[in-house]
Amino acid sequence: MTAEGLAIRPAGASPAQIQAYADLLNATFQTGKFTPEGLAWRYRDNPAGQVVGADAWDGERLAAHYVTCPVEARIEGAVVRGLLSLNTATHPDYQGRGLFTRLAEAAYGAGADAGFAFVIGVANANSTPGFLRKLGFQHVGRLAAGLLLRSPAAFADRAVQYQGAWRPDLLRWRLSNPQGRYACARRGELLSVWARTHLPFVRCAAFLPDAQGVEAATRAPLTASLFIGLEPRIDLARLGFARLPERLRPSPLNLIWRRLGDAAPAALRPEAVAINFLDFDPY
């Protein structure tokens, strides 16, 4: 299949592909954070499966790239395989040709054929309209973002429609991110996970049902806790939650959703979704 003379091929995780992705992502976003080591961890080593995506090639030159990462989620009590919308980049020389939409639809078609039931993602202000208007995603809602004074010890007895299904091997892999630094502690019925952020003395926090097989301390790190996500089983206000002012948020964090198969619902109920930073990879 071609797009205006470009060859559209499935994304992969070979060393040559990983290097091409790192080069394109770093050049497009003017950064050096996309290392081959970090991309291999995410694209190749995930116990839930290698990435599902599509690339546009102009001969030996990578023109555009889009991937989704396999995830497992508990939906209405059942574990369902889905995809997390992840990295996308189009070289400046090839922008304006609609490549992102074509690559995304190719990725979702491949994902559906492979048995994945949904795509979920967190989109910024620039990308959200394209996902909604061109790709048929649901805008589930904006994620909460703010500082917590205390950590919870238990979840309220409240049913959720969607939550990450972090079995021990998946969680150990997630915490082995070569570009991350994490701390874990058990308190009551929950496992708390903190990630280093770009802010001094601030770590991003996630709260999970206790996971066996994950090493954890007994005390939280002596830093401020930033919570980004949705968690209907916790009363954030009682934990001293203080929302970040809009001027301190780099962008609205919009949760988006698209069903690929019958095992997933057509839409998510915002008030029944539990999601944290571990589920969408900001740290």
Question: In terms of domains, do 171 and 205 share one?
Answer: yes
Residue 127 maps to a domain: no
Amino acid 221: pLDDT: 80
The whole-angstrom separation of Cα 71 and Cα 165 is: 8
Residue 125 maps to a domain: no
Mean pLDDT computed over 135-163: 95
Predicted TM-score (pTM) of the model is: 0.94
Question: In terms of domains, do 161 and 103 share one?
Answer: no
Domain region containing 20 = 2-69+88-116
Amino acid 278: pLDDT: 97
Domain count, the chain: 2
Question: In terms of domains, do 169 and 105 share one?
Answer: no
Mean pLDDT computed over 236-263: 88
Residue 76 maps to a domain: no
Amino acid 249: pLDDT: 65
- Measured CA angle at 281 (ends 276, 283), to 5 deg: 95
Question: In terms of domains, do 162 and 274 share one?
Answer: yes
Q: Is the pLDDT of residue 2 over 60?
A: no
Q: For residue 119, give the nearest of 264, 272, 21, 278 by alpha carbon.
A: 264
Which run of H or E residues covers position 76? none
Question: In terms of domains, do 200 and 264 share one?
Answer: yes
Whether 82 contacts 44, CB under 8 Å: no
The whole-angstrom separation of Cα 18 and Cα 251 is: 28
The whole-angstrom separation of Cα 111 and Cα 82 is: 8
Question: In terms of domains, do 146 and 267 share one?
Answer: yes
Q: Is the pLDDT of residue 3 over 70?
A: no
Residue 35 maps to a domain: yes
Question: In terms of domains, do 100 and 163 share one?
Answer: no
Averaged pLDDT score across all residues of the chain: 93
Q: State pLDDT tens for residues 96-145.
A: 999 999 999 999 999 999 999 999 999 998 899 999 999 999 999 999 99
Amino acid 218: pLDDT: 67
For residue 126, what are its two tokens? 């620039």
CATH code for position 54: 3.40.630.30
Question: In terms of domains, do 155 and 246 share one?
Answer: yes
Q: State pLDDT tens for residues 39-91.
A: 999 999 999 999 999 999 999 999 999 999 999 999 999 999 999 999 999 99
Residue 124 maps to a domain: no
Residue 19 maps to a domain: yes
Q: Is the pLDDT of residue 250 over 70?
A: no
Amino acid 244: pLDDT: 84
Out of 99, 116, 133, pick the residue that ends a domain: 116
Question: In terms of domains, do 101 and 177 share one?
Answer: no
- Bigger pLDDT: 281 vs 252: 281
Tell me what percent of the residues of the chain surpass a pLDDT of 90: 83
Q: Is the pLDDT of residue 242 over 60?
A: yes
The whole-angstrom separation of Cα 268 and Cα 26 is: 34
Residue 53 maps to a domain: yes
Question: In terms of domains, do 166 and 102 share one?
Answer: no
Q: For residue 279, give the nearest of 148, 191, 163 by alpha carbon.
A: 163
Mean pLDDT computed over 158-169: 95
Residue 178 maps to a domain: yes
Mean pLDDT computed over 208-212: 82
Question: In terms of domains, do 173 and 271 share one?
Answer: yes
Residue 160 phi/psi, 5-degree rounding, is -120, 150
Out of 98, 116, 134, pick the residue that ends a domain: 116
Question: In terms of domains, do 41 and 95 share one?
Answer: yes
Q: Is the pLDDT of residue 248 over 70?
A: no
